[in-house]
Chains A and B, each alone.
Chain A
């Protein structure tokens, strides 16, 4: 398939996944905002999350203090900010439009309709329309997009690049959300202070992991168990291990003459998570581990781009 086509598919998929991740974060914090006395915890969590996502600066250029309503608005519907859900949906649709011939009609119509509806919502909504409804809808549209992708696409290169984009983005998102709460994950943190249970339940909800946590651990929520769930559980759909496994498998399916080293690194990332114990990560320090992970995932993204998506001029 054309490199340019693969590039558009990869980004289309990343943007949809990113829109969903943001929607999950806004949704979880929005719920938290309805609890009494959530004030400081909420603003603190929003600040840390925005910092981990590298969007705090852009927020600061537009608004002064961290005001939950403004943050929700900014992350969801800011038309000017390229990192908002609104902009991600637009970017996903534009990438899809550039290669609509490589998508199934169902997938194209799903992405196009999502964008048209988001645009209508943003243009015609009431001044204080419920942001919770919007992010809920974004999640649903992302679920639908994923379902249509899996349910209608031929398992060819187009499909694999779509999956690679989605899982790299998802791994990135999970790692960043954990990073936002890294204070509770410092070595020995559990001995020093009692973590705020609300913050950690928000985090779990943002990753559809709250019920799973209960089911797996049948225990109170502790940061290190949460980290274990989100880093090392192979059966947890948003865990780093799971995402790395999917990236590796999809990458293997599209490998070409120059991609051996990239594939090796993807395999190494997967294998090292697979054979690591939580104790090892804790000994290294979870924050350090997350930082290394994000660097490796960025490197992998760059390598995929140069091997497949934008090959040198006279290949």
Chain B
């Protein structure tokens, strides 16, 4: 890490950046005791409300909190406008790509992406070939992970197009901040986010199968033991739709119904929060109890909309990620607004030579890994870990990509005795239906351990409220 990271709040001189000035002033005037008390209050409230994620194999109610930090991450309006444009552009291109792959495959014919990298990818779903989905939209909900490098530039670290989660924390963090520090909300013009469930519902309704006037939307969950169950229940409640499990649905004559106290009721749109593999035991994993037998047949017949569509994994796979800027140029004829992080593909000999020679400086990721697992962070790794990865790379180079170790930007965060800079990222949620829309901001995740670059909640990450200032 050659350069020091970009600090979101303070300039090198120690003065606050202009969009943080009012907050920094307020913060300086807060007695330490008040802040400590507010932090404790937040913890109690999150427990009572049950804003937790389940930990497998523990007693009921032993769900863990995702640590919440009371110092907000603030984005000035001009930065947000640019980010928003870049995100919309990127998601449009990704949807165009998925549609193309499951239809004419022009991008492969044009040689922009090597065909075998798509067609031999385990995320490619041949079942989807030739299937038309409403509006040609596949990734209805996209969570795009954004980081800021040492030069202050935003970059896309990862696209999440399957079942991205975290939006409930975005909403609950805001609610919590308003409860703890109402005075901050009168002192700033902070773009609201609470309308996200309305936008999401409207978005889901807009992609119902053609001819359905008043579509019934449901949210499909794996159940109360799933780690993201709180979010599923929360979103269903906020949208006023049924939270269903696979056992609540059945397919008859290619139509999907739910079992209700008043008999079977037709379902038109399924916002699913389970992976492709579990959706339909007749087609995918036969041992899955989470899905609905016959769902894929109904889907292929155009009788039901599934959001996100089956097969979106082909576009957020890490081996495809390096090509997203090319997709934007290919499908939209535009220059990408937000750049990727430089990525070496280890299947390429030249890239591999470079990476193997520089392992201690780089981050190596498994292409199908997620959640911060299957990853080598060179500067933080031991010699043994590096050698283990070297052996794995040599054995199956196509399974890996490498990136420079980014000096992710930092934001002051409560840690032990007081405030200290901690690395953060940002996950905005991009909704695609009849239109593409984004609620201002997103979920800011923070690596709570000093020096750590891993923001995932499963590995000691926390979250912050994210403010987009309207002036």
Contacts and interface: CB of A to CB of B under 8 A. Distances in A.
Interface of A: 1-6, 90, 93-94, 97-102, 105, 108-109, 112-113, 115-116, 119, 157, 161, 254, 256-257, 308-309, 311, 313-315
B263 interface: yes
B34 interface: no
A113 B47 CA distance: 8
Contacts of B261: 1-3, 6, 157, 161, 254, 256, 308-309
Given A93-B61, A94-B224, A4 B259 contact: yes
Contacts of B60: 90, 93-94, 97, 115
Nearest to A117: B48
B224 A4 contact: no
Q: List 10 A-B pairs, minimum CB-CB distance, nearest first.
A: A101-B237, A101-B233, A101-B236, A308-B261, A100-B233, A98-B224, A101-B243, A3-B259, A112-B50, A6-B261
B247 A4 contact: yes
Interface residues of B, number: 29
A115 B263 CA distance: 34
Interface string B214-258: 000000000110000100011011000011110110101000001
Contacts of B243: 5, 99, 101-102
Contact of B260 (A3, A94, A101, A113): A3
Contact of A109 (B49, B61, B224, B237): B49
A3 B224 CA distance: 16
A94 B47 CA distance: 15
Interface of B: 47-50, 59-61, 223-224, 229, 233-234, 236-237, 242-245, 247-248, 250, 252, 258-264
Q: Which of B234, B243, B245, B252 has the most A CB atoms < 10 Å from its CB?
A: B243
Contact of A256 (B49, B50, B262): B262
Contacts of B50: 97, 100, 108-109, 112
Given A1-B260, A2-B244, A112-B61, 19 more contacts: A1-B262, A2-B260, A3-B248, A3-B260, A3-B261, A4-B259, A90-B61, A97-B224, A97-B229, A100-B233, A101-B237, A102-B237, A102-B243, A108-B49, A109-B49, A112-B48, A116-B47, A309-B261, A315-B263
B259 A257 contact: no
A127 to B, nearest CB: 22
Nearest to A256: B262
A101 B49 CA distance: 12
Nearest to B230: A100
A315 B224 contact: no
A88 to B, nearest CB: 13
A160 B88 CA distance: 45
B371 to A, nearest CB: 24
Contacts of A105: 49
Nearest to A4: B248
Contacts of A113: 48
18 contacts: A1-B262, A2-B259, A2-B260, A2-B261, A3-B259, A4-B248, A4-B259, A5-B243, A90-B60, A93-B60, A97-B50, A100-B233, A105-B49, A109-B49, A109-B50, A254-B261, A308-B261, A309-B261
A311 B47 CA distance: 35
Given A4-B247, A100-B233, A315 B242 contact: no
Nearest to B242: A2
B224 A116 contact: no
Contacts of A161: 261
B49 A2 contact: no
A257 B234 contact: no
